[in-house]
Structure 1
Amino acid sequence: MNSSQKRSRAYYTTVIEKSDYGIRPLDPDVYGNKKRATRRIKEQLEQANDNDGDPDDDDDFNGQAVVSDSIATAQYLIKNLMLPSNGMTKVTNLKLPPVCFIHQIYSILRDNTAVDREIQYAIKLGSWRKFHILGTLDDEYALMDTKDYLQMVTDAKQEFLQDISSGINKEDNDIDTDLFDRFKRLLLNEQYFDTSVARQTLLSSSPTSSSSKKDCFTDKELTLLCKYGLLLPHMKKDSYWFAIRRQGIFMSSYIKGRKELLRILKKRSTKDIMEKLLKAKKLRQTVFSYEFILHDLIGSGRAERYKTSMGDLIKLTRKGELGQ
């Protein structure tokens, strides 16, 4: 087992098993319980990084970057919490993109500044990408593994080829399928790791070291990339957002789940509910798990989680009351 796997496993154990992790106490921490819990978690993470087992573990590492806490949390949200245990078939049929929101990570990790720094580093390395999705606030960004996004480009290419062979896109028969390969090369260029790109830049992109052909695009090709969900025209600027395919289906179910949880809290006279009672309620308007949506509410400041003697309490905030 390499260092990355050790650290990720130790972190997941901490999140799942420590009931006080990421929870703010209802009363002042006069006895230092919170400090001791924080110190205990820190020691666990440090111990996981020390490689105190087999010395040959360093040889298995092969120079791979250690997964940061923020990226490990993103993986945990996507792979473990995104879908209910019985909802895999429905989500697979919808082909929802494997993404989470950065503010969901805030609901698990205490240090938002450290989260931003670690995510920015992962983006700089090109291993993860950040996206703006329509229907979200300006500061709510989605996060996706670059490998998954490249696979999404491949899926778009296959769909394009099927449409051409079936005669659906007769007007696009003159477009070379190399378009999608050029777009992949663009995505792997560190100059294009941002959430958006200027239209003029795409029309006159400079050659990459891996290709003798200019990786630039025509207006018709850009229109096709928009058609297949890989680009989204910017509303105010002469530019494009890098887009996630089927984001409309994703956001429709996501917002429905958010509204459903908010309605439950708003109907309560005290605007709060014990989490064990909330967990017992079945969400009927979304395909996502209640945990995935709850991390959205807490991370975005629409709700707060408090630790009480009777269990965790979820309380509606002013932001949650005003908006949805």
Structure 2
Amino acid sequence: MKRAFMPSLFKNKRPRTVNNSSAGASGRKQLNEGGTSGDEDLSDLPSDTKAALAYLRSLFDIRHFEGRVPPILLKHQLYSIIQNKTQVDREVDQLRDKKEIRLFRYGNSKDVDEFCIVFSDDYLSHVRKMANQQGISDLIDRFVPEILEKMNNITFTCQMLCDVHGFKDKEITMLVNAGMLTVRDVGSWWLSIPGAGIFIKNFSKGRQSVLRAIKKSKYREILQKELEERKLQGVKKLSMMYHIHDIIGAELVTKIKTTSGIILRLDE
């Protein structure tokens, strides 16, 4: 079976918000911790992970992808909303244990942890629609109750799928071809999102477009409010706020509170 290549896109680092320090080359004055600005303030965002995921989901319009993917969220986006990374990780695990969400790992390196999140109901609905389109409904009717509804695994082995649950090599190949599984190693697979390739392509294009706009700005920084108003060619499928939460959560930019509003400064 052919190994699916999923590009390494995300930098899972702790986000940074700068307060009460110089704004750098521009010399702007910073707000105190309790200050407000015209931009989205932390107090305006959800304070728990489930609510934060629902907010991020609202930024993903599946109509822009013609229904070819469910709303896909990035785990590190949560770090741009909730400052306590330990809280996020704990609550993500709790939601996963309750089977309210599914986690998916993408990347071409075992040393890189790049997690996407999809609400379970969205994922199952997408999988069943895909199965009808590809004519594998009978196979999915077995895979969903025996695997997806019972387990929250990110990876599956041949021993688990074949020996325990009775799936044949031909059926696993069909699941790979349908985008349900991607090859991890010999005899093991990642659980995947059918059609995720189009999301990754547009996400990568949008991220680069946003970072390029900041790089071209004076001092390699821009007011978040100004960035939100930009009509960038690469940001069509996904919303600007979706990308802003990405670059902050992935620590590609530093978020600075100033009297003029929130500034995003490129770290490269």
- Shorter-chain TM-score: which interval? 0.7 to 0.9
Paired position in structure 2 for 1:179: 139
Taking a change above 3 Å as real, the CA distance of residues 269 and 237 of structure 1, as seen in their structure-2 partners, is farther
Q: Distance in 1 between matches of 2:68 and 2:173?
A: 23
Paired position in structure 2 for 1:314: 264
Structure 2 unaligned residues grouped into runs of 5+: 1-14, 22-30, 37-41
- CA-CA distance at 1:237 after TM superposition: 4.6
User: Counterparts in 2 of 1:198-277, with a 5 A limit?
Assistant: 198-205=157-164, 215-234=165-184, 236-277=185-226
Taking a change above 3 Å as real, the CA distance of residues 94 and 180 of structure 1, as seen in their structure-2 partners, is closer
User: Counterparts in 2 of 1:77-92, with a 5 A limit?
Assistant: 77-79=56-58, 81-83=59-61, 89-91=63-65
Q: Which string of whole-angstrom CA distances, capped at 9 and with x for unpartnered residues, describes residues 178-200 of structure 1?
A: 321111011111xx312111122
Which protein is bigger by CA-based radius of gyration? 1
Specify the SS of the correspondent of 1:241: strand
Taking a change above 3 Å as real, the CA distance of residues 308 and 97 of structure 1, as seen in their structure-2 partners, is same
Amino acid at match of 1:310: S
Q: Distance in 2 between matches of 1:127 and 1:232?
A: 22
Q: Distance in 1 between matches of 2:261 and 2:120?
A: 38
Asked if residue 72 in structure 1 is aligned to residue 51 in structure 2, the reply is yes
TM-score (norm: length of structure 2): 0.79
Taking a change above 3 Å as real, the CA distance of residues 277 and 36 of structure 1, as seen in their structure-2 partners, is closer
User: Counterparts in 2 of 1:27-66, with a 5 A limit?
Assistant: 27=20, 34=33
Q: Distance in 1 between matches of 2:252 and 2:144?
A: 37
Structure 1 unaligned residues grouped into runs of 5+: 1-21, 46-67, 162-175, 206-214
Residues matched between the structures, number: 236
Conservation of the 8 A alpha-carbon contact between 1:26 and 1:307: yes
- CA-CA distance at 1:135 after TM superposition: 6.9
Paired position in structure 2 for 1:155: 129
- CA-CA distance at 1:296 after TM superposition: 0.5
- CA-CA distance at 1:121 after TM superposition: 0.7
Q: Distance in 2 between matches of 1:124 and 1:132?
A: 17
Conservation of the 8 A alpha-carbon contact between 1:97 and 1:245: no
Taking a change above 3 Å as real, the CA distance of residues 115 and 237 of structure 1, as seen in their structure-2 partners, is farther
Paired position in structure 2 for 1:56: none
- Name whichever structure is richer in helix by fraction: 1
TM-score (norm: length of structure 1): 0.66
Paired position in structure 2 for 1:100: 73
- CA-CA distance at 1:124 after TM superposition: 1.0
Amino acid at match of 1:219: D
Paired position in structure 2 for 1:12: none
Q: Distance in 2 between matches of 1:94 and 1:129?
A: 19
Q: Which string of whole-angstrom CA distances, capped at 9 and with x for unpartnered residues, describes residues 27-84 of structure 1?
A: 16xxx953799xx96xxx9xxxxxxxxxxxxxxxxxxxxxx810111111012x224x
Asked if residue 24 in structure 1 is aligned to residue 2 in structure 2, the reply is no
Q: Distance in 2 between matches of 1:36 and 1:216?
A: 60
Specify the SS of the correspondent of 1:193: coil
User: Counterparts in 2 of 1:93-132, with a 5 A limit?
Assistant: 93=66, 95-132=68-105
Q: Distance in 2 between matches of 1:177 and 1:36?
A: 55
Conservation of the 8 A alpha-carbon contact between 1:133 and 1:141: yes
Taking a change above 3 Å as real, the CA distance of residues 177 and 90 of structure 1, as seen in their structure-2 partners, is closer
Candidates 223, 232, 243, aligned match of 1:283: 232
Q: Which string of whole-angstrom CA distances, capped at 9 and with x for unpartnered residues, describes residues 61-113 of structure 1?
A: xxxxxxx810111111012x224xxxx6433x252321100100100101010
**Percent identity of the aligned residues?**
30
